[in-house]
Amino acid sequence: MPELPEVEALAHHLREHAVGRAVTRIDVVSLSVLKTVTPAYTDLRGREVTGAGRHGKHLDLECGDLHLIVHLARAGWLRWSDDLPAKPPRPSGKNPLALRTHLSADESGGESNAAPRHVGFDLTEAGTKKGLAAWIVADPADVPSIAALGPDALGLDRDRLESLLTGETRRIKTVLTDQKTIAGIGNAYSDEILHTARLSPYATPARLTSEDLDALFDALHGVLTAAVTRSVGQDAARLKGEKRSGLRVHGRTGLPCPVCGDTVREVSFADKAFQYCATCQTGGKPLADRRLSRLVK
C-alpha cells in the first residue's frame, strides 16, 4: 500500500508536470471508484491544475476551487503518461484502469504543428480487492476520511508526538498506523520506524521512557524523510507500481536483519503480516503469533 513517502512523491510529480495544464477530459472506466456525484467529474473539464498536495495517504490535485482527491488503498497506483491513447478506454473487468485524466499538452502556449500529444495520468488498481477511491470536492475536508485524520507524521515535533502517546495503552504498532492518531504511516513504514527505534511492535506507548521517545521521534522523521527522497528520486509516477527499496525488515521475513544478522521474523493476523527483528527490538524474544500458536496447540 502506498504510504506517505510514495504519495508525497506522486504529489511532487504532479506539481512538476501537471500544474499549469488544463484538464481536457476525464474517462471514468470504473464507476465505483468515484465516490461523489456533485460536483460532476465533467465540471473539472477546462479547469487549470493549480497545485498538488497530500493529506495523510490521500493525494490532492487542485484545480482552482475544486479538488480531485484520490486514495490509492492497497493496490492502487497513479501512472503518468506523456502519450495517453486518445480513444476512450473500454470498461472491462480485467482492466486495471479505473480513471484516466487527460491534460492539455502545451504548457507554454502552442508553438508546434505536430499532432497534439495526450498527456495525463491513469489511476489503476491491480487485483480483486477494490479499495481505490476518488472524490471531487470543493473542500478536502468534505472527504470523511480526510476530516478524520490526525496530525501529519512529517509535521510532528517531539512534544506533539509525546502528547499523542501520553496515556495511550494500545500497542505502538496499532497507534502508529491509526490515521486518526497520526496521518500517513502504514504497515511498512511503521515496521521500519520501530526497527530503527529498536522498539517492540507490542510496546505500550504510555510506558515509553524519555529515551524511547527520542529514539521513536528520530526514527519516525529519519525513516520517512529518507523514503520521501528515495521515492521522489525514482520518479514514482512513471513506474507501473510502487517499487520500494531500502526497507530493512518490512517484507523481509526469513532474511537477515541488516543491523545484527538475526533472522527477520513475522507476526500474521487477519489478512496481513508485519515483520521485526527480535534481537534489535524485543530483547531476543519472539513475539507471540496468534495464528501460529493456535496451530501448535
Q: What residue ranges bind Zn ion (CB under 5 A)?
A: 257, 259-260, 262, 277, 279-280
Which own/partner pairs from 41-47 qualify as long-range (CB within 8 Å, at least 24 positions apart)? 41/136, 43/136, 44/68, 44/136, 46/22, 47/22, 47/23
The residue with its CB nearest to Zn ion is 257
24: left (phi over 0), alpha (psi -120 to 50) or beta: alpha
Q: State how far the Cα of 270 lies from the Cα of 60, in Å rounded to an integer.
A: 31
Q: Which is nearer to Zn ion, 145 or 275 (CB)?
A: 275
78: nearest Cα among 93, 95, 62, 99? 99
* Least distance (Å) between residue 261 CB and Zn ion: 7
* Least distance (Å) between residue 262 CB and Zn ion: 5
Q: What is the CA radius of gyration of the chain?
A: 21
Q: Which is nearer to Zn ion, 135 or 189 (CB)?
A: 189
Q: Which is nearer to Zn ion, 131 or 202 (CB)?
A: 202
Q: Which is nearer to Zn ion, 86 or 260 (CB)?
A: 260
Four-point Cα dihedral 13, 14, 18, 22, nearest 10: 170
**Backbone φ and ψ of 279, nearest 5°:** -65, -45
Q: Which is nearer to Zn ion, 22 or 259 (CB)?
A: 259
* Least distance (Å) between residue 287 CB and Zn ion: 14
* Least distance (Å) between residue 246 CB and Zn ion: 16
* Least distance (Å) between residue 276 CB and Zn ion: 9
